[in-house]
Structure formats: structure tokens, C-alpha cells
Amino acid sequence: MKEYKALVFFDLDGTLLDKESKIPKENHEVILKLKEKNILPLIASGRSPKEIRQITKDTPINSYISLNGQFNVAENRVISKHTIPLELIEELMALTENLGHSLAFYTETEYAARYSNKTMEKLYHLDNAPMPMISTEFHKKHDIYMLYLFSEEQEKDTMYRVAFADRLTFFRDSPYSMAVVLNGQSKKAGIQQVIENLKLNHVPTYAFGDGENDLGMFDAVQTAIAMDNASEHVKSQADFITKSHVDNGVWFGLHHFGLLD
């Protein structure tokens, strides 16, 4: 197992990516610089493994926490994955249908939804991602690792959290959606599993993020860095606030902590 000087975890949307959901040249150079300095860059994202591999294909990144800790890879090896039981999916589906919300199902490589609506369209437009295929049987034929619930009615979020309090965790990650994972799973749990697998518990750890689902990531590392475009609540949980993701914030934060020197 290779020894590293430090580990740096990056969220994607609103952090490592630009407005077009691509890694800008400046951040690509930063990733290469970290590798040169024997510092391991990792992704910690709500996106799927397939999306992460596509986004990072021109970089040396080979370790990631995906689907908010549901599917985790260390140096190209799958080290943990957590499927959501079908009966639990169908119970949640019944509640979403009663409340008029659509639901998408994520595997390692693809995703589908029961039906599309305007709220769903807004989310995938925001993420610059393709709309899911429409299928009423997809969730019955595949291992599902994460669910995506489409709702702009944030006042109803509590209804879901109360109904599934001991079984599912709901992360409000945009005005249009909540990511849904098994209770006990999160970016925090995924990071801990990857660090343990790599036997790097003694190595300094850093994390960059901007969203509510990054708070678990902040808990899992020694130094939490919030982007300037993060909410005030996320910023309040960070050790340092860097510049915006469109203002070279990743470079600024790494430079501040001497990781590029």
C-alpha cells in the first residue's frame, strides 16, 4: 500500500467543477500538482461512479466516495457498496406518489425514474446531466445504491425523515431534490471506509465542499474547507472559508494550507 503525505477530498458540484460541470484547467493542474507531491486527491460526491469516472477521466484520480457514501472505491478497487432493499424502496415510492413527488433509482452505472416532471428537469439542468430513462420496473431488476427524490416543497422534507427515521437518511442537496441513502451511510462513512482500507488513519486529511451533504465529509476529516459559494450554515461548520468555485477557490485553499508549496 502506497504511503501518502496527506489526503484531500473534493466535492464535485459547486466545488471542483465549474458552472458547466467540468473540471477547469486550473483545478486539473492542481490535481496533478498534488499527485506530484505525493498527496492523494479523492472525490466525495453524490454523483454516481460512472459520472465520476467520466468527469475525472483525464486526471490521475482513482479513489472516490460516490452516491453519498453508498459506493466507495480506493485506488480502483471497490471497497464497500450498500444496496437499498426493494421493500424499502417500494415503501418510500408509495409515500412519494401520495405527495406528488417523483423518484429516481441509481445503480453503479445508470439511473432511471418512475416518471419525469418539471422539478426533475430543473435538477438535471442544474447539474448539466442527462435526464433519467423512464421505467416502472428498473428498480426491481437492478441493485439500487441511492435514490433521488424530486421535490421543491421543502416544508414536506420532515415528513419523509420522520416516516423513515431509523432506515433512510435524506440529504437536501438542491432546491429541487433530496438524495436518499441507507441510514448510517454518508460521505462521512464512505471516507472512513476508504481511509481504513488504505490504512492511512495517521495521515492528515482535508476536505473541500459547499453543500449540506458535505457536512458529514467535514466531520470525517481534520481540516474542513468551505467554498465561498456555500450556504452560511455550511460555512459555519468549516475550519476555513476559501474563495468561490469559479474564483480559483480550490487552489486558494490548498495554497493557504501549504499543500502546493
Rounded Cα distance between 246 and 112, Å, is: 31
157 is catalytic: no
Rounded Cα distance between 113 and 157, Å, is: 19
State the catalytic residue, choosing from 11, 13, 173, 210.
Answer: 11
DSSP per-residue codes, 43-89:
EE-SS-HHHHHHHTTTSS---EEEGGGTEEEETTEEEEE-PPPHHHH
**Active site residue ranges:** 11
